[in-house]
Amino acid sequence: MASVADIGVSAFINILSAFAFLLAFALLRIQPINDRVYFPKWYINGSRSSPRRSTNFVGKFINLNVTTYLTFLNWMPQAMRMSESEIINHAGLDSAVFLRIYILGLKIFVPMTILALLILIPVNVSSGTLYFLRKELVVSDIDKLSISNVRPESLRFFVHVGLEYLFTIWICYLLYKEYDIVASMRLHFLAAQPRRAEQFTVVVRNVPHITGHSFSDTVDDFFQRNHPDHYLCHQAVYNANKFAKLARKRERLQNWLDYNQLKFERHPEKRPNTKTGFLGLWGEKVDLIDYYKHQIKEFDKRMSLERQKIIKDPKSILPVSFVSFKTRWGAAVCAQTQQSKNPTLWLTNWAPEPRDVYWRNLAIPFVSLTIRKLIISLSVFALVFFYMIPIAFVQSLANLEGLERVAPFLRPVIELKFIKSFLQGFLPGLALKCFLYILPTILMIMSKIEGHIALSNLERRTSAKYYYFMLVNVFLGSIITGTAFEQLHSFLHQSPTQIPRTIGVSIPMKATFFITYIMIDGWAGIASEILRLKPLVIFHLKTMFLVKTERDKVRAMNPGSVDFPETLPTLQLYFLLGIVYAVVTPILLPFILVFFAFAYLVYRHQIINVYNQHYESAGAFWPHVHSRIIASLLISQLVLLGLLSTKKAANSTPLLTVLPILTLAFHKYCKHRFEPAFRDYPLEEAMAKDIMEQSTEPDLNLKAYLADAYLHPIFHSFEEEELVEVKDRVDKHQAQTASPLTSEISSPSPSHLVYHPTSPPQHVYHPASPPQHYYQPPTPPDYFFPPHSPSYYGYHYEN
Amino acid sequence: MASVADIGVSAFINILSAFAFLLAFALLRIQPINDRVYFPKWYINGSRSSPRRSTNFVGKFINLNVTTYLTFLNWMPQAMRMSESEIINHAGLDSAVFLRIYILGLKIFVPMTILALLILIPVNVSSGTLYFLRKELVVSDIDKLSISNVRPESLRFFVHVGLEYLFTIWICYLLYKEYDIVASMRLHFLAAQPRRAEQFTVVVRNVPHITGHSFSDTVDDFFQRNHPDHYLCHQAVYNANKFAKLARKRERLQNWLDYNQLKFERHPEKRPNTKTGFLGLWGEKVDLIDYYKHQIKEFDKRMSLERQKIIKDPKSILPVSFVSFKTRWGAAVCAQTQQSKNPTLWLTNWAPEPRDVYWRNLAIPFVSLTIRKLIISLSVFALVFFYMIPIAFVQSLANLEGLERVAPFLRPVIELKFIKSFLQGFLPGLALKCFLYILPTILMIMSKIEGHIALSNLERRTSAKYYYFMLVNVFLGSIITGTAFEQLHSFLHQSPTQIPRTIGVSIPMKATFFITYIMIDGWAGIASEILRLKPLVIFHLKTMFLVKTERDKVRAMNPGSVDFPETLPTLQLYFLLGIVYAVVTPILLPFILVFFAFAYLVYRHQIINVYNQHYESAGAFWPHVHSRIIASLLISQLVLLGLLSTKKAANSTPLLTVLPILTLAFHKYCKHRFEPAFRDYPLEEAMAKDIMEQSTEPDLNLKAYLADAYLHPIFHSFEEEELVEVKDRVDKHQAQTASPLTSEISSPSPSHLVYHPTSPPQHVYHPASPPQHYYQPPTPPDYFFPPHSPSYYGYHYEN
């Protein structure tokens, strides 16, 4: 058990490393050469197009202004300068709400820290048992400040119970207020949004197949019959997964070609070549530039074949459709109601915004979804509780004996004591580290298999899974030593009343561990977040090898976005630690406070200067944040109950049993009170916006506005004549659809797939211009994706 | 432990008593004097108006036809004669679906019984351990046929596991098919229904209070703004609870008056009189007829004052409204969508049919609902687990010593051995019996406090609570001896894996108990159900003392309705017993089969001839039935798991763990697949019905049709001029409402409270005609309520 001195050392090291990171950041960020890494948001915004610090040659790369080095912490006040409404305009509501979580943390924990330190420390310290009773045991100084120090059967436990009540009320009050504010912020944000395609559009899944009718006809028929006054048009979804895969491969080849061409330009004396065999070690020697050019040509052929197939084959139309309505009211109605007798058909939901759509999952049928959910929830359970098994297996493979058997020539090196101990300490850890590093990716893939159709939803699901993992493996795993599997075993064989006791007893003893954890993961981790080491390296590698044009530079910039799947669960873990330890070991609270304050500053800076969210969910993650804090409250109450029952505080314990019930009731109330605002679009709002728009723009051509909003992004790369062909085919279907009954109600000639020849010509694919990138989406930053989503459909830039 | 001979005796006794009931029924039902007790449905239907058996005087009361006595079981084939669709027409879908549960029971258990008896009995009997190992223990013969007889670690357990799989698959298959059929029956029934007020109406709760506006204006405003194309009119709800209470009291006085007048007519020599003091023992002597007449006059005054208050006071309009739409589509949309930014305001739901509305609960605000739900769920938990505590208290008060202390003069009588033992055996039991008798009433009151607004929903909730009570106190309580409170204690202090073991071990030993239970509660209980002893007695008492006119006779008839809150949980208990014991002690299955077959016949007869459902929920209880059978499956799987783990059948146990997961997944799938059909009205259906109606009746005056469908029933008793006054007041409000923006969209002059002077004059209250009943609803049978709903608002006939 760590003493106060140990913690001091740990704190010193971590503060030092945090400062080192900050210093490095301060130095690197003012170098013009790094400007695109540390201020990409301003480039994307269009308010900056090149670093404007100096005019001479060296000044273009290195900052020569000495005064700027002296004020190395001035990013902090800069970060605070923007108001919340400015941040909403600048970075979107998601980012603003994300920052509010940190503020909520500060609001919760500042008064709690003061109160707990002022009241509990004196109560715990005076007349403690630990001084007198078990001098022989190695007891940490921290423990003397904790509840462990109070004599069993003491009346002082009433103070702890009272504070638990007070804290619960305080947290619930703040949570209620915050939920209220966030919900109204969301509604205001949605109300203030300009006209957007998703406001009018509903995604319809599981369109039934009617023989002799295409899906387009079926959709048209159905909505003209059942929403005659509101239905406008719809957009069919094409299965372009294979094409997207080809496009991705071709993009990779193009990168290699660019790289080699650049290499050749810089060293014109030597034309790059390689051997065709494995890793270029043997085989026929080829000229690389010609080789890649040839390969790309091959791919172009295959892709044009695939394109033909998508256009010609009616099977490439999926049983999914984006249905647009004349009014927001009509879309809100359709999204919230049940359409068909068979509730597994015609599933309607709000369409995610176009850049938020995860195209691959659109075509999953209903039965499959149920099975997928079952399989994934079982897998997550297995992953959370049994993840140590495969890692232990890998570790046992990677131990020294195994290594010696495989490579006997290494024996003399391995047998050296220093190297041996290093390897023995290092190899098993490496396997675990690797696993933890790829964990978010694994969880994201799982969420994708589950079948959610919006990226925002995928990220929320991933975040939930990550939270369960952290709760079991970091929180419980640290308290009850042993693997999660062992914990599960002991939980299954203990009585339900025993579990809180087991946890409750060991919780005060683990305070020092968690203090260290907060310093390493919280303080130093956040400081390294601001440094952006990985993007920095990648950016410089790319500018060195790939960047030729200004546009390439923009693409190499990759600002990324707030990594919700990782940051939200981490944050929630800190809330859990703070709430659980507030009454047990209040000395932990200041460390949490520092984390919240520091992380708030860092993320405020990052959101203002770096991150560029690739979708906007209008704070849709808030209900999750809320319910996880409630869960933390419940855990803290149960743990305190268990702890007090081992302390024989029979008088005060029954008082505590009421608290979880009240907390749950509060949660249920909040859920009913606020959650619908995050799920449904109220008709009142929709109608108000419709009326306003009608009065300001009475002759708006909504159909033209919506025409290709939800066009599968692959079509933006199609050639003009092909698109016309697609359109023709759809129109022909159209002609035969409209039945005599519905045609008189419906709007004339709905066209659900319209090509705009006026779109900028550079967005269209021209095979004759190889140096240009194959695919260029209309608004590049929209198609950036976080590094952990490699399997995202197609418009994914290699980092 | 009972031997086979004991069970034989028990079976003999129960079959005998069942036959006695049946015989009594056969004798009583063919007496013309009882015709209204055993065939009330035909009177209500209008197909029978008086018993038409004989013409001479004695024949009017007693059946003199000897041949009818010989065929005393011929009600059984009679009951089977009606087809299902005829039953739907005759008694509604609820009854038809209710009968399907019994058929489902037969479908499930007939093949299971055959298979289990053929396969399991030989497997269990041969080479059993019970023969050889513990001869000294008193082992029941039944146990030799059960799984207890199989040697531990035997490979034979694979047979049991295999059968459990087979049974689960079979039950799931049948459940899926049945859910499908019931869901489509429901949709067909709803689609085939003629035009009904509830199809166009939505109940809106929590209308916000806007100062300076009445609730009526607010509702009108809101829906004209947000549903401009569909909103038709609305009906305000008046707080008439106090008035209803007065009406109820007045009705009781009227009954007494009738009784005394009748007595006087029969014995004109003696005018009935009483003393005004306690129980008529002392005080001033009064003439009873004059006394009641005077009292009724007093009440009439108070009631007219109260009426004035309801009409004049704007506070008597509640923040609730029945909003009607021009089309079913509009109503379906409004019911399924969220109206307001604040999800606690403007809560919309399908309106229950008018006779299904529970008026008292309409005005409960949202916050109160959350608190009520919390309190009631805590109370139900307490009731289920701690109900023995107050009963034990009453029992301890009611024991003999207590009695002797209170009434020493009784000592010589009590000390007689025979009487003493009788009292000691009887008194404690009486307290329990009383409690169990009033339990459904208590649960119904709890459900009412919870705040549901439809009687059908109240009954479903009560049924759920009753099921929990039976599950814990009958099923678990019989298996783990000791009170439910002791069980709870042991569950809390056992590990989760230990609980199935504890239950699993004792389950085979309790088979004989449950066989006896099935015979007493199932066989004899159902036979007594057909006898209708209580209604029979009450009917004859009423005809003797109260009935003067033919209409009084109709009212005294009280056919009642299927008592869902009690019968559904009982049925579900039988499913549970059958499914749990199918693999463990298959000899129990034939008893269950007999129950299902016999109960099916009895309820078919009762539904055809007796019961008159007072509402129609279109089979809304099916999802509950489905999920409870699934729960039974899960319980059976866990119990078998526990049982096998004590039998050290390590090879076969892991096989079983997959089953609960698959069963849960199946349940989830069914929930998604079918439940929306029981909750929402699909737009497709609504639109189809709208279009059909438009084509058949293009010039329908819907407003007139809907005008007073949801008028609070109290208004039917108002005088004409008062209703006009109410109408005027509403119209005045109307005039000032319609804002310039909405009035042009809305339909002209919406009137939400229209009085129909054409309604039959006998429905209006005339104080000048005292012998006539004060309140007479337009269609009397609509206002019959089950005997356990004494607190139902007003139109409740005293039995």
Predicted local distance difference test score (pLDDT) of residue B106: 94
Question: Worst-scoring range by mean pLDDT, B10-19, B96-105, B567-576?
Answer: B10-19
Q: Judging by beta carbons within 10 Å of its beta carbon (0-12, 13-18, 19+), is residue B192 exposed, middle or buried?
A: exposed
| Closest residue by Cα to residue A665 from B449, B369, B254, B52 | B369
Contacts of B176 in chain A (CB under 8 A): none
- Residue to mutate among A378, A495, A659, A680, with most B CBs inside 10 A, is A495
Radius of gyration of chain B (CA): 30
The answer to whether residues B708 and B201 touch, using CB atoms and an 8 Å cutoff, is: no
Q: Which amino acid is at B322?
A: F
What is the β-pairing status of strands A273-275 and A285-287? antiparallel
Reduce the secondary structure of A49-69 to three states and give it as a string. CCCCCCCCCHHHCCCCCCHHH
The sign one gets for the Cα dihedral B156, B161, B162, B168 is positive
Q: Residue A151 carries which DSSP code? A: P
Q: What is the Cα–Cα distance from B625 to A384, expressed in whole angstroms?
A: 35
Predicted local distance difference test score (pLDDT) of residue A549: 66
Predicted local distance difference test score (pLDDT) of residue A710: 83
- Residue to mutate among B334, B370, B638, B692, with most A CBs inside 10 A, is B370
Query: A133 vs A203, which has greater pLDDT?
Result: A203
Question: How does pLDDT run across B329-364, given as a tens digit for each residue?
Answer: 999 999 888 888 888 888 888 888 888 888 888 878
- Residue to mutate among B337, B346, B366, B741, with most A CBs inside 10 A, is B337
Task: Indicate whether A654 pLDDT > 80.
Answer: no
Q: What is the Cα–Cα distance from B469 to B486, expressed in whole angstroms?
A: 15
Task: Indicate whether A785 pLDDT > 80.
Answer: no
Q: What is the Cα–Cα distance from A586 to A577, expressed in whole angstroms?
A: 11
- Residue to mutate among A337, A372, A381, with most B CBs inside 10 A, is A337
Question: How does pLDDT run across B241-290, given as a tens digit for each residue?
Answer: 788 888 888 888 887 787 777 777 777 777 766 666 666 666 667 777 78
Query: A266 vs A513, which has greater pLDDT?
Result: A513
How much of chain A, in percent, has pLDDT values that exceed 90? 15
Task: Indicate whether B578 pLDDT > 90.
Answer: yes
Question: Worst-scoring range by mean pLDDT, B176-180, B255-259, B429-433?
Answer: B429-433
Predicted local distance difference test score (pLDDT) of residue B575: 94
Predicted local distance difference test score (pLDDT) of residue B478: 76
What Cα–Cα distance (Å) separates residue B384 from each residue in A64, A356, B573?
79, 49, 16
Q: What is the Cα–Cα distance from A614 to A797, expressed in whole angstroms?
A: 13
The sign one gets for the Cα dihedral A138, A142, A146, A150 is positive
Highest-pLDDT range among A64-78, A268-282, A766-780, B460-474: B460-474
Element (H, E) at A435: helix A417-450
CA within 13 Å, CB half, A45: 18
Q: Which amino acid is at B536?
A: L
Query: B381 vs B507, which has greater pLDDT?
Result: B381
**Number of residues that make up chain B:** 799
Q: What is the Cα–Cα distance from B217 to B224, expressed in whole angstroms?
A: 10
- Residue to mutate among A669, A692, A745, with most B CBs inside 10 A, is A669
The answer to whether residues B753 and B726 touch, using CB atoms and an 8 Å cutoff, is: yes
Of A333, A495, A680, the CB nearest to B492: A495
Answer yes or no: do B339 and A366 touch at CB < 8 A: no
Task: Indicate whether B160 pLDDT > 80.
Answer: yes
Q: What is the Cα–Cα distance from B419 to A521, expressed in whole angstroms?
A: 79
pLDDT-derived band at A276, boundaries 50, 70, 90: low
Contacts of B367 in chain A (CB under 8 A): 669
Task: Indicate whether B661 pLDDT > 70.
Answer: yes
Q: What is the Cα–Cα distance from B81 to A158, expressed in whole angstroms?
A: 72
Task: Indicate whether A225 pLDDT > 80.
Answer: yes
Query: B65 vs A264, which has greater pLDDT?
Result: A264
Q: What is the Cα–Cα distance from B458 to B563, expressed in whole angstroms?
A: 12
Shortest alpha-carbon distance between residue B404 and chain A (Å): 39
CA angle in degrees (0–180, nearest 5) for B654-B655-B659: 110
Contacts of B615 (CB under 8 A, 6+ apart): B94, B352, B353, B355, B356, B454, B455, B456
Q: What is the DSSP string of A744-764?
A: TTSPSS--S----TTS-GGGS
Question: How does pLDDT run across A141-171, given as a tens digit for each residue?
Answer: 667 777 777 777 777 888 888 899 999 999 9
Rounded to the nearest 5 percent, the helix, strand and coil shares of chain A are 70, 5, 25
pLDDT-derived band at B718, boundaries 50, 70, 90: low
Task: Provide the total of helices (H) and of strands (E) in chain A, helices listed first.
Answer: 37, 6
Answer yes or no: do A339 and B227 touch at CB < 8 A: no
Predicted local distance difference test score (pLDDT) of residue B358: 87
Task: Indicate whether A528 pLDDT > 50.
Answer: yes
Question: How does pLDDT run across A439-448, given as a tens digit for each residue?
Answer: 889 999 999 9
Predicted local distance difference test score (pLDDT) of residue B29: 77
Average pLDDT value for residue range A756-784: 35
Rounded to the nearest 5 percent, the helix, strand and coil shares of chain B are 70, 5, 25
Task: Indicate whether A571 pLDDT > 70.
Answer: yes
Question: How does pLDDT run across B615-640, given as a tens digit for each residue?
Answer: 888 888 999 999 999 999 999 998 88
- What's the mean per-residue pLDDT of chain B? 76
Average pLDDT value for residue range B98-115: 94
ipTM value for the complex: 0.76
- Which residues lie across from A660 on neighbouring strands? none
Task: Indicate whether B770 pLDDT > 80.
Answer: no
Task: Indicate whether B365 pLDDT > 70.
Answer: yes
Shortest alpha-carbon distance between residue A203 and chain B (Å): 17
Predicted local distance difference test score (pLDDT) of residue A106: 94
pLDDT-derived band at B98, boundaries 50, 70, 90: very high
Give long-range contacts, CB 8 A cutoff, 24+ apart: A625-628: A625/A101, A625/A568, A625/A571, A625/A572, A626/A175, A626/A178, A626/A179, A626/A670, A627/A667, A627/A671, A628/A467, A628/A572, A628/A575, A628/A576
Answer yes or no: do A378 and B225 touch at CB < 8 A: no
Reduce the secondary structure of A98-138 to three states and give it as a string. HHHHHHHHHHHHHHHHHHHHHHHHHHHHCCCHHHHCCCCCC
Q: How many CB atoms lie within 10 A of CB A762?
A: 12
Task: Indicate whether A70 pLDDT > 80.
Answer: no
- Which residues lie across from A454 on neighbouring strands? A357
Answer yes or no: do A682 and B340 touch at CB < 8 A: yes
Query: A334 vs B535, which has greater pLDDT?
Result: A334
Residue B385, Ramachandran bin (φ over 0: left; ψ between -120 and 50: alpha; else beta)? alpha
Answer yes or no: do A682 and B338 touch at CB < 8 A: yes
Element (H, E) at B219: helix B215-226
How much of chain B, in percent, has pLDDT values that exceed 90? 15
Task: Indicate whether B376 pLDDT > 70.
Answer: yes
Of B229, B341, B366, the CB nearest to A682: B341
What Cα–Cα distance (Å) separates residue B180 from each residue in A341, B186, B190?
11, 10, 15
Of B339, B661, B685, the CB nearest to A341: B685
Average pLDDT value for residue range A545-572: 78
Task: Indicate whether B751 pLDDT > 60.
Answer: no
User: With the CA atoms of A296, A297, A303 and A308 taken in that order, what torsion angle do they form, in degrees rounded to the nearest 10?
Assistant: 170
Task: Indicate whether B307 pLDDT > 70.
Answer: yes
Of A367, A374, A496, the CB nearest to B492: A496
What Cα–Cα distance (Å) separates residue A405 from each residue in A381, A414, A415, A422?
36, 12, 13, 19
Contacts of B226 in chain A (CB under 8 A): 329, 683-684, 687
Contacts of B187 in chain A (CB under 8 A): 341
Residue of chain B whose Cα is closest to the Cα of A495: B495
Predicted local distance difference test score (pLDDT) of residue B178: 94
Answer yes or no: do B684 and A492 touch at CB < 8 A: no
pLDDT-derived band at B438, boundaries 50, 70, 90: confident
Radius of gyration of chain A (CA): 30
Q: Which amino acid is at A423?
A: L
Residue of chain A whose Cα is closest to the Cα of B741: A691
Q: Residue A789 carries which DSSP code? A: -
Predicted local distance difference test score (pLDDT) of residue B673: 86
Shortest alpha-carbon distance between residue A26 and chain B (Å): 46
Question: How does pLDDT run across B582-623, given as a tens digit for each residue?
Answer: 988 888 899 999 999 999 988 998 888 888 888 888 888 999
Predicted local distance difference test score (pLDDT) of residue A109: 94
| Closest residue by Cα to residue B476 from B659, B660, B635 | B635
Shortest alpha-carbon distance between residue B658 and chain A (Å): 11
Query: A163 vs A255, which has greater pLDDT?
Result: A163
Task: Indicate whether B781 pLDDT > 60.
Answer: no
Contacts of B494 in chain A (CB under 8 A): 495
Answer yes or no: do A226 and B684 touch at CB < 8 A: yes
Tokens describing residue B493: 């202090």
Predicted local distance difference test score (pLDDT) of residue B404: 67
Contacts of B381 in chain A (CB under 8 A): none
Task: Indicate whether B780 pLDDT > 60.
Answer: no
Residue A104, Ramachandran bin (φ over 0: left; ψ between -120 and 50: alpha; else beta)? alpha
Predicted local distance difference test score (pLDDT) of residue A424: 63
Q: Which of A101-118 are b and which e, b meaning 16 or more Cβ less than 10 Å from the residue's Cβ?
A: bbebbebbbeebbebbee
Q: Which of A448-475 are b and which e, b meaning 16 or more Cβ less than 10 Å from the residue's Cβ?
A: bebbbbbbbbbbbbbbbbbbbbbbbbbb
Task: Indicate whether B775 pLDDT > 50.
Answer: no
Contacts of A337 in chain B (CB under 8 A): 332-333, 336-337, 680, 683
The answer to whether residues B711 and B296 touch, using CB atoms and an 8 Å cutoff, is: no
Question: How does pLDDT run across B20-45, given as a tens digit for each residue?
Answer: 888 888 777 777 777 777 777 777 77
Predicted local distance difference test score (pLDDT) of residue A75: 75
Query: A723 vs A65, which has greater pLDDT?
Result: A65
What Cα–Cα distance (Å) separates residue A195 from each residue in A614, A616, A704, B106, B197?
19, 15, 13, 60, 39
Question: How does pLDDT run across A115-132, given as a tens digit for each residue?
Answer: 998 988 888 777 655 554
Residue B75, Ramachandran bin (φ over 0: left; ψ between -120 and 50: alpha; else beta)? alpha
Average pLDDT value for residue range A72-96: 81
Of B333, B341, B673, the CB nearest to A343: B673
Question: A-B interface: how many C-beta pairs under 8 angstroms?
Answer: 130
The answer to whether residues B602 and B571 touch, using CB atoms and an 8 Å cutoff, is: no
Q: Where are the alpha helices (DSSP H) in A366-416?
A: 366-386, 388-397, 400-406, 411-415
Element (H, E) at B307: helix B288-312
- Which residues lie across from B454 on neighbouring strands? B357
3 state DSSP class of B212: coil
Average pLDDT value for residue range B86-105: 90
Average pLDDT value for residue range A604-613: 86
Of B222, B496, B687, the CB nearest to A492: B496
Predicted local distance difference test score (pLDDT) of residue A550: 65
How much of chain A, in percent, has pLDDT values that exceed 70? 73
Question: How does pLDDT run across B719-735, given as a tens digit for each residue?
Answer: 544 555 555 444 444 44
The answer to whether residues A187 and B342 touch, using CB atoms and an 8 Å cutoff, is: no
Predicted local distance difference test score (pLDDT) of residue B182: 93
Answer yes or no: do A497 and B492 touch at CB < 8 A: yes
How much of chain B, in percent, has pLDDT values that exceed 70? 73
Task: Give the predicted TM-score (pTM) of the model.
Answer: 0.79
Query: A120 vs A783, which has greater pLDDT?
Result: A120
Predicted local distance difference test score (pLDDT) of residue B774: 35
3 state DSSP class of A451: coil
Question: How does pLDDT run across A614-645, given as a tens digit for each residue?
Answer: 888 888 899 999 999 999 999 999 888 888 88
Tokens describing residue A592: 């949490």
Reduce the secondary structure of A282-349 to three states and give it as a string. CCCEEEHHHHHHHHHHHHHHHHHHHHHHHHHCHHHEEEEEEEEECCHHHHHHHHHCCCCCCCCCCEEE
CA within 13 Å, CB half, A153: 0
The answer to whether residues A74 and A68 touch, using CB atoms and an 8 Å cutoff, is: no
Task: Indicate whether B744 pLDDT > 50.
Answer: no
